[in-house]
Structure 1
Amino acid sequence: MVLSIYAFLVVLSFSALYPFWNGLVVSFNEGLDTSKGGVTFWPRIFTLQNYEIVFEDKSLIQSFMISVYRTVIGTIAAIFVTSIIAYGMTRSNLMGRNYYMLFFVFTMYFGGGLIPTYLLIQSIGLYDKFLVFIIPGLVSVWNMIIFRTFFKSLPNGLEESAQIDGCSNWGIFFRIILPLSGPVIATLALFTAVAHWNDWFVPSIYIKNPDLLPIQTVLRRLLNANIVELSGLDSGSVARIQAMQTVTSRSLTNATMMVVTIPIMLIYPFVQKYFVKGVLVGSLKE
């Protein structure tokens, strides 16, 4: 019985990891050789040409940096604003607290729709601006609820002692609450960062300036059309591809996918230990 369970887990793990591994192998294999088929676990003709093209393409590097800026700024801003709102919702002396909570929860189930949201983004001047990545996602109601529950689980004596010492609400929040909230902050920051990093839909709707497109939106265009035509490669890169005669759309696409995927994957090992302590305590303990 135990062996069958281990065998099932091995098969399940293999089915989940193999697509990523094969994409990595294809990205290091010569493009024309890959088109012949049979490239599975190891590169048959190892090459770095695919990555050379990716890193020489100025548009892809620009898109990659836009994704980095969006992820860093968006995550910090969202965690900061959401945690402040959550802390305020824990105050028993907050007038209308239940109505505020009902209002927040309502937005989790009902939205204005794509067209009204588009018109709103235009009317407030965020269309085709970098801030369209940041401001609309400042508050996550689900994350706010987790923060709120976690804050309520902290001992009341800590805040009472701080108030006796003359500490203000802001001082309590920054000096006591936030330092004790490391696990939940790390966990929700990771989820927020992944959401920002993987998002391609928002830029495809609200951004028309190619210099503001994140790497995920560019990658999706590469996957849906000819990579040389839509990636915006400069003339030097196009000439280099034509000179190589070994690079294909599939090999370049896989190389781009690895460049997009690996950075966010490298963050997981550093925050994995916070998952159970952060998410479970913040979501289950009331």
Structure 2
Amino acid sequence: MFSLKRRTAGDAAFDWVNNVLMLVICFITLYPIWYVLVNAFNDGTDAMRGGIYWWPRAFSLDSFKTVFQSSGIMTAMGITVAKTAVGTVAHVLFTAMVAFAFSRRELIGRKIYMFIGTITMIFPGALIPTYLLIRDLGMIDHFIVYIIPAMFSFFDLIIFLSFFREIPDGLVEAAEIDGAGDFTVFLRIVIPVSMPVIATIALFHGVYQWNDYFTGMIYINDTNMQPIQTYLYRVVAQASSNQMISAMPSGVASNVTSQSLKLATMVVTTAPIVVVYPFLQKYFVKGFMIGSIKG
């Protein structure tokens, strides 16, 4: 029989302090998001008076209507959706292929490749050489600049590799005995049993692609090719009421201000990834646990 340890007054006090502390941290983390939502759904002119903290004082959707009527914002949203979808698929497939090759014991020079990859994690390429390389490859102002440079990550390779090493060798050997080649083994054996780690890496890279504004700011000069995050960065950085309103379609409601447009754009920008994230969150934790516990 196992005896339960009696809880002391100190244990109760610790739990109380811990719960209060966590509630405070949650409030500090979540309230700025709630503040943006409240002011985004409030009348822009009314919001300029201040004093809105918990609930919209004059509920209005005019700012969101203006955002969705802007061709520039919708074009940037389309670029973001496209680069997130294509970039995530390309990154997962390419990194998984390289990790699968690293997991094969017959790979010649595997230790040397691991050493070189580890060095790149510690000392990443500088901005100027990277820019010169991308310029010489002709990727400036092209959609592929969002895809090709981000197709591989050595950190993600390590996560893939830890999972692939747990796949029974007999499973792969049985497929090879039946005449399956490396690509067949990878596509029909490895990929189907690796969905947890694939979902984890897809979540990592999908969030990166969606939130990435730096690539569009450095390598894209054509405003029609810039993603929504770069668009939002320029809106916030410029902070010019006349410039922002002039970028909107004609017939903007009089109660729409530059501040309300900024907040509405922020909500539109972050809402899709916030909606998708909870469905993949369980894989987020599982991805860090891969390889940490051996059965």
TM-score normalised by length of structure 2: 0.91
1:41-60 correspondence to structure 2 within 5 Å:
41-60=54-73
Tell me the residue number matched to 2:268: 259
> Where do residues 65-104 of structure 1 align in structure 2 (5 Å cutoff)?
65-104=78-117
Equivalent of 1:146, from 159, 175, 180? 159
Tell me, yes or no, if the aligned pair for 1:221 and 1:231 is still in contact at 8 Å. no
Structure 1 position 207 matched with structure 2 position 216: no
Larger Rg: 2
User: Structure 1 residue 94: deviation in Å?
Assistant: 0.8
Query: Residue type matched to 1:122 in 2?
Result: R
CA distance in 2, matches of 1:233, 1:150: 48
**In the alignment, does 2:254 pair up with 1:245?**
yes
- Contact (CA 8 Å) 1:78, 1:137: kept in 2 or not? yes
1:138-180 superposed Cα distances (whole Å, 9 cap, x missing partner) = 1000000110111001111211221222221211111111111
Identical-pair percentage: 43
State the alpha-carbon separation in 1 of the partners of residues 83 and 216 from structure 2: 11
Q: How big is the shift at 1:231?
A: 7.5
Give deviations 1:5-45, integer Å, cap 9, x for gaps: 22222221111111011101100001121111111110000
Task: In structure 2, give the amino acid aligned to 1:95.
Answer: I
| CA-to-aligned-CA distance 1:197-254 (integer Å, 9 cap, x gap) | 10111111110011100000010111112155157625xx2x423xx32211111101
Show structure 2 runs of 5+ residues with no match: 1-12
User: Contact (CA 8 Å) 1:81, 1:139: kept in 2 or not?
Assistant: yes
Distance in 1 of aligned mates of 2:202 and 2:274: 14
Structure 1 counterpart of 2:53, from 40, 45, 49: 40
Decide which moves more: 223-232 or 127-136. 223-232
Q: Which runs of 4+ in 1 moved over 6 A?
A: none
Indicate which of 25, 36, 39 corresponds to 1:26. 39
Q: Answer whether contact 2:159 2:287 (CA < 8 A) is retained.
A: no
Cα distance in 1 between the residues matched to 2:246 and 2:222: 13
Tell me by how many angstroms 1:276 deviates.
Answer: 2.7
Letter in 2 for 1:268: Y
- Is 1:171 the counterpart of 2:151? The answer is no
Q: 1:231 and 1:151 mapped to 2: Cα distance?
A: 52
Question: How far apart, in 1, do the equivalents of 2:75 and 2:243 lie?
Answer: 17
Aligned residue number for residue 16 of structure 1: 29
Q: Give me the CA root mean square deviation.
A: 1.7
| Superposition map of 1:94-133 within 5 A | 94-133=107-146
2:293 and 2:218 map into 1 onto residues whose CA distance is 36
TM-score, structure 1 as length reference: 0.94
Report the number of matched residues.
281
1:64-91 deviations in Å (ceiling 9; x for gaps): 0000000000000000000000000011
Secondary structure of the residue aligned to 1:258 is: helix
3-state SS, counterpart of residue 251 of structure 2? helix
Distance 1:231 1:167, change over 3 A: farther
Q: Check the 8 A contact 1:59/1:211 in 2, yes or no.
A: yes
Corresponding residue for 2:8? none
Separation of aligned partners in 2, 1:256 and 1:30: 15
Distance in 2, Cα, partners of 1:139 & 1:79: 8
Letter in structure 2 aligned against 1:270: F
Structure 1 spans left out of the alignment, 5+ residues = none
